[in-house]
Amino acid sequence: MKLYMATGTYEFLKKLEQKHSNESMVIMQNAETSLLIHETEGDSVFQEPRRYEVVDRSGSFQKNGFVVCNNIPVTDEGRPLFEYRFKNRAGLIEKVPGFVAIRVLRPLDTDTYVIMTLWENEKAFIRWKNSEQYSNAHGKNNKGENKKEIFPRASYVTQYTIPNDEY
Helices marked H in 7-78 — which ranges? 10-19
Taking the model in full, what pTM does it have? Answer: 0.90
Neighbour tally for 154: CB within 10 Å: 8
Chain segment 6-27, per-residue pLDDT in tens: 999 999 999 999 999 999 999 9
- Domain range list for the chain: 2-162
**Coil, helix or strand for 6?**
strand
Chain segment 123-157, per-residue pLDDT in tens: 999 999 998 878 877 765 445 455 668 999 999 99
How far is Cα 136 from Cα 38, in angstroms, rounded to an integer? 32
User: Any idea what DSSP says for residue 82?
Assistant: H
CATH 3.30.70.100 fits 2-162, yes or no: yes
Residue 159 sits at the vertex; the CA angle it makes with 158 and 164, to the nearest 5 degrees, is 150
